[in-house]
Structure 1
Amino acid sequence: MKANIKGFFKPLVESLIAIIIGMLIGAIILAFSGYSPTEAYVALFDGALGSKYGWAMTLSAATPIILTALTFGLGARTGLFNIGAEGTVYFGAIAAIIFTNILGNVLIGLLGGIIAGLVWMSIPAFLKVFRGVNEVVSTIMLNWMAYFIALYIVLQKIPNPDDPNKTIAVPVSARFPIVIRGTELSWAFVISVAAALIAYYILWHTTLGYELRVSGYNERAARYGGINPKKAVIWSFLLGGIMSGLAGATEVMGRPPSYAISQGMANIYGYGFDGIGVSLVGRNHPIGIIFSGIFFGMLKAGATAMQIEAGVPLEMVRMVQGIIVVTVAIPGLLDLLKRVVRK
């Protein structure tokens, strides 16, 4: 019991210390650049948490990155460095748009995202298991392939004939209801939290989850224990594909006002990469990822307030955000490196 409590509080304390250090470094940079750190951080927290609208925007921003973080986290627990969520998000969003325009239903849209995620993530899974290709190499290359394939589909196959700046929209019947009117928070957030809880249950309360964790901890020991590490790798990729495919689907089905993919895919770009940081901060634990995702959502939601209320330029806001993110992610990254070395 004491070991469990220590195992819970130690990462929590380390993350809190990292947050404080990151904010102090950011404050120093703001001060040397001629801006008030106090005003900037007050604006950040007030914009993200100071009102019902702020909370709604924070949770809305957290929705897709919780799901993409689960992709990385499931891989990390299996001893993989799966950074392929970015490309999978694109196809999840495209599939949701196409499926819902054929049959305007929320479940059909989610199914489209899941299928797209499974199909795309099966490629690096095959390359890893049957060809021995390192997942970092394959997923980086596949991310770029996904970007240009998806861009072609967005611009050439599903453009909105009435508005060339975006694709055709998800029909009204397949959109997630808005939780708080006038905000971007929809019931898609519930999907992301439910996915995290399901991932937690799979990892710690099923035979499959045990096999994933043992394979990630020590592949040789897993073999001696009758566990097939290749099977664990395949399941890890497929489960991760489901999560990031859902991230793309929920983004276009639950994000007003367009409910579509913008030209250049600006509104779905970067979620896969953000998910890596979210997972590291959450120590690759599904429950930790929920809170980490909300923290990242707070940084995103409060950025506008920092610009308007504190007069901090966008470039400086992003620099401060980046410093905080990198600092907070370091403990999780060290844990991951220790696990790799031990393996």
Structure 2
Amino acid sequence: MKSSGSEILRKLNVKAFIESLIAIFVGFIIGAIVMYAFGYDAIKAYEGLFTGALGSIDGIAATLDYSTPIMLTALTFAIGTRTGIFNIGAESSFYFGAIAAVIFTNLWDNMWFGLIMGMVLGALWALPAAVLKVYRGVHEVISTIMLNWIGWYFVLYLIVGPYANPQDPNKTIRIPEAARLPLIGDTTLSWGFIIAVIAAIFTYFLLWHTGLGFGMRVSGQNPRAAEYGGINPKMAVMWSFIIGGIMSGLGGAIKIMGGYPGYAISQGGANIYGLGFDGIGVSLVGRNHPLGIILSAIFFGMLRAGTSTMQATAQVPLEIVRVIQGIIVITVAVPGLLDLIKKAFGRGSQ
């Protein structure tokens, strides 16, 4: 008896999940070998990692809090890969989402206004790369890298210039209290995490249960076949950039509006820099699937939240901790990266 399409898809998802678990195990083993080679107790170090990240309410809150923005930037990259593009512009759309939250909540101290304007500016900043790709054939990696730097320096000017806090030179003006995302219980975790999870579920529904999402995925697998079937691959790419920009812009707004205790962008942009690039790794670990990204973002958050306890428990220097974390992330990302390479070569041979 032939398997239905849903059964096949379910089997593939289970296979991918098992591969990711094996990769995680291998990553932790390699990390342990490195620690023992430098004379540190790997068992104590990993005990500290899990205790710090999952051993208390505050630890779990920190894990989920860090997972929130990278969950959304990972969706940007995943949407791009499903449409056949390598969009690494989440970084600059994230910047614009963050500065939009600062600017517009101070114009009108409303939480929803800040989130919406973060999404709008994130999407608008993604448009130049989309237009260059669709109408001039400029490769998205080149355009998004250049736009990332343009966006970074422009937002940095706003941070240190017109929106600097005159009472505190270490940050921008703060998000008004009425526009801040509420915290969950007595923790540092805001409702931004719930919004991010909803965004991931929405992205899954969009890609797999709507005509627009079907067109985007078909265009990513075979643009010629999509065009033959009445789908406009150019519009699919445009929507991919726009929706991806919305997700990263939302991530930037949530980062600042739910960013207890600062509720501001640090001078130099230290608390917003790099989260767009982190999303690439999160997406690869989640196999570029919106639901897998939820789990992989929490995994990344756990690695980050357990850092200080890992250091304190086994006296492992921060530099070694970062090396171990990097080894684990690279190992876990390999299956997703191989999937991406296979799809790229598959499109090239069509």
Are 1:189 and 2:188 matched, yes or no? no
Moved more, 146-155 or 65-74: 146-155
Within the candidate set 273, 280, 283, 1:276 is matched to: 280
Residue number in structure 2 paired with 1:133: 138
Q: Give the alignment's TM-score, normalised by structure 2.
A: 0.97
Q: Give the alignment's TM-score, normalised by structure 1.
A: 0.98
Q: CA RMSD in A?
A: 0.8
Are 1:10 and 2:10 matched, yes or no? no
| Contact 2:58–2:188 under 8 Å retained in 1 | no
Within the candidate set 227, 233, 237, 1:229 is matched to: 233
| Contact 1:177–1:187 under 8 Å retained in 2 | yes
Q: Distance in 1 between matches of 2:259 and 2:54?
A: 20
| Contact 2:285–2:333 under 8 Å retained in 1 | yes
- Give 2:319's aligned amino acid: E
Within the candidate set 255, 261, 270, 1:257 is matched to: 261
Within the candidate set 210, 221, 226, 1:217 is matched to: 221
CA apart distance, 1:144: 1.0
Within the candidate set 90, 93, 96, 1:85 is matched to: 90
Residue number in structure 1 paired with 2:67: 62
CA apart distance, 1:51: 1.2
Q: Distance in 2 between matches of 1:248 and 1:55?
A: 21
What's the secondary structure of 2:171's corresponding residue? Answer: strand
Superposed CA offset, 1:178-215 (max 9, x none):
1032x320000011001001101100110000000000
Q: Distance in 1 between matches of 2:316 and 2:259?
A: 27
Equivalent residues in 2 for 1:152-171, closer than 5 Å: 152-171=157-176
Q: Distance in 2 between matches of 1:167 and 1:115?
A: 21
Superposed CA offset, 1:52-87 (max 9, x none):
111111100100000000000000000010000011
- Give 2:312's aligned amino acid: I
CA apart distance, 1:140: 0.8
- Give 2:36's aligned amino acid: A
Are 1:48 and 2:53 matched, yes or no? yes
| Contact 2:49–2:309 under 8 Å retained in 1 | yes
Q: Distance in 2 between matches of 1:111 and 1:6?
A: 38
Q: Distance in 2 between matches of 1:260 and 1:310?
A: 34
| Contact 1:69–1:275 under 8 Å retained in 2 | yes
What's the secondary structure of 1:165's corresponding residue? Answer: coil
What's the secondary structure of 1:264's corresponding residue? Answer: coil
Length, aligned pairs only: 342
Residue number in structure 2 paired with 1:326: 330
CA apart distance, 1:166: 0.2
What's the secondary structure of 1:160's corresponding residue? Answer: coil
- Structure 1: 5+ residue stretches without partners: none
| Contact 2:54–2:302 under 8 Å retained in 1 | yes
What's the secondary structure of 2:18's corresponding residue? Answer: helix
Residue number in structure 1 paired with 2:128: 123
Superposed CA offset, 1:85-138 (max 9, x none):
011111110011100000001101001101111110001001100111000111
Q: Distance in 2 between matches of 1:236 and 1:81?
A: 11
Are 1:315 and 2:319 matched, yes or no? yes
CA apart distance, 1:309: 1.9
| Contact 1:57–1:301 under 8 Å retained in 2 | yes
CA apart distance, 1:321: 0.6
Within the candidate set 296, 306, 309, 1:305 is matched to: 309
- Give 1:291's aligned amino acid: L
Q: Distance in 1 between matches of 2:106 and 2:99?
A: 11
- Give 2:134's aligned amino acid: V
| Contact 1:56–1:180 under 8 Å retained in 2 | no
What's the secondary structure of 1:265's corresponding residue? Answer: coil
Residue number in structure 2 paired with 1:149: 154
Q: Distance in 2 between matches of 1:196 and 1:83?
A: 18
Residue number in structure 2 paired with 1:206: 210
Q: Distance in 2 between matches of 1:281 and 1:22?
A: 12
Are 1:22 and 2:27 matched, yes or no? yes
Residue number in structure 2 paired with 1:110: 115
CA apart distance, 1:304: 1.2
Within the candidate set 40, 58, 61, 1:35 is matched to: 40
| Contact 2:49–2:307 under 8 Å retained in 1 | yes
Q: Distance in 1 between matches of 2:72 and 2:304?
A: 16
What's the secondary structure of 2:272's corresponding residue? Answer: coil
CA apart distance, 1:157: 1.2
